[in-house]
Amino acid sequence: MNSEAEASVAERAKGPRLALGIAYRGQAYSGWQRQPVEPTVQGRLESALSEFAAQPVDTMCAGRTDTGVHGLNQVVHIDPPVVRELNSWVRGTNRYLPPDIAVLWCREVGPEFHARYSALGRRYTYVLLESPVRPAIEVGSAGWVFTPLDGDRMREATCVLIGEHDFSAFRSSECQANSPVRRLNAIEIRRCGAYWRFDFDGNAFLHHMIRNIMGCLIAVGAGRRPPSWMAEVLAARLRLHAAPTFSPAGLYFAGPYYDPALDLPTHTAAMDWLPR
Say which residue, 13 or 200, is predicted with more confidence: 200
Q: Measured between alpha carbons, how far is 61 from 22 in angstroms, rounded to an integer? A: 10
Relative to beta strand 181-192, strand 143-145 is unpaired
Q: Measured between alpha carbons, how far is 157 from 50 in angstroms, rounded to an integer? A: 47
Q: Measured between alpha carbons, how far is 155 from 188 in angstroms, rounded to an integer? A: 8
Q: So what's the pLDDT on residue 270?
A: 87
Q: Measured between alpha carbons, how far is 73 from 17 in angstroms, rounded to an integer? A: 18
Relative to beta strand 18-24, strand 101-108 is antiparallel
Q: What secondary structure, in 3-state letters, does 200-241 show? A: EEECCCCCCHHHHHHHHHHHHHCCCCCCCHHHHHHHHCCHHH
Average pLDDT, rounded, for the chain: 94
Q: What angle do CA 262, 97, 264 make, to 5 degrees?
A: 10
Q: Measured between alpha carbons, how far is 187 from 70 in angstroms, rounded to an integer? A: 19
pLDDT at residue 36 greater than cutoff 50 = yes
Relative to beta strand 70-78, strand 18-24 is antiparallel
Q: Measured between alpha carbons, how far is 219 from 222 in angstroms, rounded to an integer? A: 5
Reported as a single tens digit per residue, the pLDDT across 173-188 is 888 899 999 999 999 9
Is there a contact between 101 and 23 (Cβ–Cβ < 8 Å)? yes
Is there a contact between 113 and 262 (Cβ–Cβ < 8 Å)? yes
Share of the chain above pLDDT 90, in %: 91
Helical spans, DSSP H, in 114-200: 151-158
Residue 141, SS3?
Answer: coil
Dihedral of CA 46/48/52/56: which sign? positive
Residues linked to residue 195 through DSSP beta bridges, in sequence order? 129, 192
Q: Is 66 a catalytic residue?
A: yes
Is there a contact between 273 and 127 (Cβ–Cβ < 8 Å)? no
Q: Measured between alpha carbons, how far is 184 from 216 in angstroms, rounded to an integer? A: 16
Reported as a single tens digit per residue, the pLDDT across 121-165 is 999 999 999 999 999 999 999 999 999 999 999 999 999 999 999
For residue 64, how many other CB atoms are within 10 A of its CB? Answer: 17
Which of the residues 66, 79, 152, 263 is marked catalytic? 66
Question: pTM of this prediction?
Answer: 0.93
The pLDDT confidence band at residue 13, using thresholds 50, 70 and 90, is low
Helical spans, DSSP H, in 112-222: 151-158, 209-221
Range scoring the smallest mean pLDDT among 9-23, 150-164, 206-220:
9-23
Q: So what's the pLDDT on residue 263?
A: 96
Q: So what's the pLDDT on residue 7?
A: 44
Report CA Rg, the chain: 20
For residue 82, how many other CB atoms are within 10 A of its CB? Answer: 12
Relative to beta strand 70-78, strand 143-145 is unpaired
Reported as a single tens digit per residue, the pLDDT across 51-107 is 999 999 999 999 999 999 999 999 999 999 999 999 999 999 999 999 999 999 999
